[in-house]
Amino acid sequence: MMGRKKILVVDDSSTTRMLEQMILAKGAYQVVTAKDGEEAVRKARVETPDLILLDVIMPRMDGFEALRRIRAADVKTPIIMVTTRGEAVNMEQGYASGCTEYVTKPIDAVELLAKVKDCLGQ
Amino acid sequence: MTANPNAQSAELGKALDEERKRRAAAEEENRKLSQELLQAAQERQELLNLYVASLRLHSSLDRADVLAGIQEIVINIIGSEELGVYELSEDRKSLRLISAFGLENDALDRIPLGKGPIGQAAQKGEAVVGDTADDSHLTAVVPLKVGDDLIGALAVFRLLPQKGGLLSANDRELFELLGTHGAIALHSSSRAGGNGSQG
């Protein structure tokens, strides 16, 4: 039997972490969390998740910088940006920094789960 | 015995018609099922939003954390990055801004009760959502009440662009939740002496 896929949820808002965890529970994923960009960069290496959900606006290190550092460390894990930043310029910045998908808040659970499954090849 | 070609053709036509009807019925059934699935997913999302918001509001007795929770709910679940949380002054004559996100207007720091859309909605104790008839990009004013007792107000301004200026039924339920449960959480944290006031 294959192990559950591990997803790293990164957001400084505990409300969003809770919401994403509950949405992902429907897909029976194993979830680990991080509260800012620095923790995300560390856990992307240590936890070796199958997928990362990454917020943009966070203290200490924002999501774009975390994304650049994760990619610079040659971590090829698919990354979905999940953010309030819905302008085209932000999306372009996300894709240019190496994200796989871009989802705007407020989170649509159906959309998020579909993108998660797509990124995990399910 | 030779089959009658006309009769065979008529039978074939009838069978094709029935097959078309069966297919149309199946497609209609699929469409209805898809709609029901979407509706169920929507309802699940709405319940999840309310559940998470409620859990977040009541997860702490620390006043700063409760205020952070109110901000997080408005920003991440409702979808606005311009909001202010007000507390009713001790003399009950004005509203004092105790927590804000994305607000630059100093005039909003203290509002006399009954003045302007925020002061009026608070004084009446009735939420005004989506119809504030005001040019300040105000989207909603939600009085914070513990029972019938007014303790403050929540003012939400511009919505995120991706909301398209629209509030959903779930957004309105979330405002209602913030007006009651947000107020109770804030009141409880103040009574518990959690971290004093901000601003």
**Cα distance between residue B34 and residue B174, in whole Å:** 27
Tell how strand A79-83 and strand B83-88 pair up. Answer: unpaired
- CA A69 to chain centroid, in Å, comes to 14
Q: Does B20 have pLDDT greater than 50?
A: yes
Question: Cβ of A106 and B79 within 8 Å?
Answer: yes
Q: Does B48 have pLDDT greater than 60?
A: yes
What residues of A are in contact with residue B73 (Cβ under 8 Å)?
Answer: 15
What residues of A are in contact with residue B163 (Cβ under 8 Å)?
Answer: 106
Amino acid identity for residue B183 in this structure? A
**Cα distance between residue B44 and residue B47, in whole Å:** 5
Question: Cβ of A19 and B52 within 8 Å?
Answer: yes
User: Model's pTM, two decimal places?
Assistant: 0.88
Question: Which of B44, B52, B55 to mutate: most A Cβ within 10 Å?
Answer: B52
Q: How far is A43 from chain B (nearest CA, A)?
A: 23
**Edge-to-edge strand order for the sheet containing A6-10?**
A30-34, A6-10, A51-54, A79-83, A101-104
B contact set with A (CB within 8 A): 38, 41, 44-45, 48-49, 51-53, 55-56, 59, 69, 72-73, 75-79, 81, 160-163
CA distances, B154 to each of A66, A92, A103, B56, B138 (Å):
33, 34, 27, 17, 11
Q: Is A120 helix (H, G, I), strand (E, B) or coil?
A: coil
What is the rounded average pLDDT for all residues in chain B?
Answer: 91
B30 strand-pairing partners: none
* Owner of token pair 């040659």: A74
A106 touches chain B (CB under 8 A): yes
Which residue ranges in chain A fall short of pLDDT 70? 1-2
ipTM of the complex: 0.92
Other CB atoms within 10 Å distance of the CB of residue B95? 30
Question: Cβ of B76 and A22 within 8 Å?
Answer: no
What residues of A are in contact with residue B55 (Cβ under 8 Å)?
Answer: 18
